[in-house]
Chains A and B, each alone.
Chain A
Amino acid sequence: MDKVRKIEDNDLDAVEIGAAILGTGGGGNPYIGKWRCRQELRKGNKIDVIPLDELPDDALVVSLGGIGAPVVGVEKIERGDECLRALRAIEQELDCKVDALISSEIGGANAMEPMLTAAQAGIPVVDGDGMGRAFPEMQMCTWSIYGHKSTPAAMADEKDNVVVIRNTRDEVWVETIARATVVSMGAAAAIAMAPMRGEFVKKAAVPNTITQALSLGQAVLNAQARNLDPIATVLKQETGKLLMTGKIVDLERHLKGGFARGHIHLEGFGNNQGERGEIAIQNEFLVFWRNGEMEVCVPDLIVVLDADTGLPITTEVLRYGQRIAVLALPCHDLLRTPRALEVIGPAAFGYPELSFTPLDRAELGGV
């Protein structure tokens, strides 16, 4: 697929599905964001997309999005300009003009916020993001990992409250302070991070992920429209592999440290008859085991799709008896360096005994 230059109304359904697929079970539901983008387009605003490699070196790029509890986000919908006001607060703080926006997390709801804010601000959104998937915390994005200092960061709510976090000891403190602030703001707010130079973004961002979300979603929609096997269609579109088709035979959930954790157990069917699968969850799908042997883990992507429709299944709607297809997609090399693995490898999620064995992109037929 050619690189995307513009997101139009009839692309939005596909972006919604693709973003949810890349959400690997988490990241929040992009449905509301899709409708907000649609509203911007109906007002005559445009969602222009700039390919990562065309970003000028001296461009100022801001990553922004929603922060808070997804369940609150579907009840207290935003006023609409929270992200824009957070962006303006950054510009005011640094007395600068931002040239482009970028999503810190393409997987889930935060794929949409930079697009609609870019439409409001009249600037482009960069075709790329800071994860190429979804992760539960802000410092897990590539620019934090590769040394970008996200302060001054600005937060805005619907009540005209704007909070600027001017300086913190380290990136984890940004997360800590932002979490406390968002709770007082009603558990849903917008956050914009300190601008990055284009030169840095070109090195630190996961490229082409808007294009990827769009084409993934289109693959699913095409398969549905033409009664093709959606799983095969997705795999044809994407460098990746089918780990297992199976049925959920057990499901445990518990809350630990503010995260929804749990395990699902699978019984294979079709080509996987007789196999057992297990997936660990912490908001997102983290680790996949086959017959007790770890096969894929973070930061590579473990994607769970409905075996019949190809639509992504998020961790909240998992239930006993579902027939699912478990896919593995290789994460970008930026997420595979020792420095990145310290932050987003299995040990960072409580699996120190696991060592990350990257999916072999060449073996999967990719480039």
Chain B
Amino acid sequence: MLVQGIKSRPVYTGLAIDLQARRHLFALEGEGIEALLDQVKAVGAQFLETSDILCVGKLPDVKAEYMWSAPTIPVLLNRLNVNLINAKMGTRLYLSGTEGFIGQAMKIALDQNIDFNSIRTEHRGSTARRVQCVHCKGITDDVKTSPFTCAHCGLNLLVRDHYSRRLAAFQGVCIDAEQPGTAPAPVVMFP
């Protein structure tokens, strides 16, 4: 479960298939596949006939009109961007997987001027965070502890409960700036 009550973090309310949509575009990562399968159980498989499913890695065991597997997240994001450029009115976007994945895919959608409120999202998988170092601006993926070491500038960063949709990242702030070298040991906070 993700920690609740962070004002700047999006609320991931679930995929909830929009049966009025003319097309459904899914971008799924890892355990995000399960969120799709749960929707098939809940509302039946008919929506798959008008669905494009983009997945990182293994495809779900369903028959959709179009399914495509990407080897990595960046490859999927490029493809998602192309699909959105070509998308027609009436397309509904669904994102599921880890928070870092949802955030990056949402960023692609925001850049295509899609209102974030219209995107259906469901968090699945690890609670690891994607964090931007506020000092060097480098982003470190898959952060499980606080503090952690910035992968770019090497500072010890506290992970603040403050999230930017535009950057798809939490904020990391140097924890021992006042007395360098006094950072506490990392604690697993986001397994």
| Bound together | no
Residues of A whose CB lies within 8 Å of any CB of B are: none
Residues of B whose CB lies within 8 Å of any CB of A are: none
